Structure 1
Amino acid sequence: MSEKIVLYYFNGRGKMESIRWLLAAAGVHFEEVNLTKREQYEKLLNDGALMFQQVPLVEIDGMQLVQTKAIMNYIAGKYNLNGKDLKERVMIEMYSEGLCDCMEMIMMLVFKKAQEKETQLGVIKGKVTSRYFPVYEKALSGSQYLVGSQLSRADVHLMEATLMLEELFPTILSTFPNLKAFQDRMRSLPTINKFLQPGSQRKPQPDDVYVKTVMEVLNF
């Protein structure tokens, strides 16, 4: 197996995007294999690469890793994005899990019908402004990072989530000044800034082509 880091997924955000963000924030080069045909997926299955018959799949350090949380935990540990001790790590994981829950709601929007999507948008905005953002706004009061004195995976996930939410609700940070200031600081980090530039491996908002590809490859 190659020593390169290779990501196997669709040419879109989905569950792989947070993995791309972590690698990019760590300044790590990675390659991608975009699944566009059912045959590619079946080959991964037949080769035994997908433990639970699901993607994302990441080849790293001679391993074939599946399950998004396991992949992100490994990357965070390998590239020093998981805090300095066990207490910091559990706080990072709590913040990260909340953000993953939040982003999963957004991920599923593209697969919903128009009327369901409008209803869900209202649900998302309500939960974000009353349940999620107040937690991160408080954590960033007088602090540069969510946990401890260095960048962690929780900070990277928060940056990704705030940008995704601004795509849906452009003024959503207007009543969260600490989050807005945090976002500005994150933009100034060289690796993050590079990932935000045109031509990077950051994916755009999902469209009908992405949905059609996912449905065809997974045979839904």
Structure 2
Amino acid sequence: MVTYTLQYFHLRGRAQPLRMLLEDQGLSWEDEVVSPETWYQGDLKKTCAFGQLPALKDGDFILFQSNAILRYLGRAHNLYGKDKQEAALIDMVNDGIEDLRLKYVKLIYQTYDEEKEQYIKNLPNDLQHFECCLSKNNAGKGFIVGDKISFADYSFLDVLLNHLVLAPSCLQDFPLLKAYVERLSARPKIKSFLECDAHKSRPINWNRKQ
């Protein structure tokens, strides 16, 4: 059985979609928690390809950058669509998810106090695109692309769960997205993960704003 090590902080952050993927797929993995003290010493940071975590260790192979890790796991575990067209659509959607994640991260770490209200007001403009994407795949009753879960679904679920904390009513006008979150969150292994103490103890963001 493949054993992975996911190296990250005691934080949900960028590692959260990776954890959900690993858990939901029943893969053997361990969480290597990096303390702030260790990180600020600088020695570990120097070993990171771009000075950032998370890192995934697969035997002697170490990979950085969260989306690269998602794609790596997607290729390794049949989570990248059934053909090249589905793979391209998964990449497209994941790029859109990343755009939304970056807007969220900018808000949380740079402009939270002055722009939170406006961000929430503008959020439907972003969510409507995803509602449309979902509607075009099996009438929105399954996954974001294709008939099988992909790595993009884990990233999308994470982004939506974060926004439901930021703005609990943000999906009220998006019935497909709301049902999507409920459906994926109810997958037995994801449900168990979201309910475990280890998950609940991790803050969403480093500065604890949410």
- TM bucket normalised to smaller: 0.7 to 0.9
SS in structure 2 of the partner of residue 64 of structure 1 = strand
Report the TM-score, using the length of structure 2 for normalisation.
Answer: 0.82
Q: 1:200 to 1:76 in 2, by over 3 A?
A: farther
State the structure with bigger RCO (CA 8 A, min sep 6), 1 or 2: 1
Structure 1 Cα separation of the partners of residues 137 and 68 of structure 2:
25
Query: Which is further off, 58-67 or 180-189?
Result: 180-189
Instruction: Tell me, yes or no, if the aligned pair for 2:90 and 2:152 is still in contact at 8 Å.
Output: yes
Q: How many residues align?
A: 205
Aligned pair 1:165/2:163, yes or no? yes
Stretches of structure 2 lacking an aligned partner (at least 5 in a row): none
Shift of 1:126: 4.2
Give the structure 2 partner of residue 112 of structure 1: 110
Give the structure 2 partner of residue 90 of structure 1: 88
Shift of 1:74: 0.5
The one-character-per-residue Cα deviations of 1:12-44 (angstroms, maximum 9, x if unpaired) are 122222222222222223222223115565222
Shift of 1:143: 4.2
RMSD (Å), alpha carbons: 2.6
Aligned ranges 1:1-220 → 2 under 5 Å: 4-28=3-27, 29-38=29-38, 42-45=42-45, 49-113=47-111, 114-123=113-122, 125-139=123-137, 141=139, 143-201=141-199, 203-206=202-205, 208=207
Query: Which is further off, 11-20 or 196-205?
Result: 196-205
Stretches of structure 1 lacking an aligned partner (at least 5 in a row): 212-220
Query: Which is further off, 62-71 or 34-43?
Result: 34-43
Instruction: Tell me, yes or no, if the aligned pair for 1:186 and 1:192 is still in contact at 8 Å.
Output: yes
**What residue identity is the alignment partner of 1:34?**
V
SS in structure 1 of the partner of residue 197 of structure 2 = coil
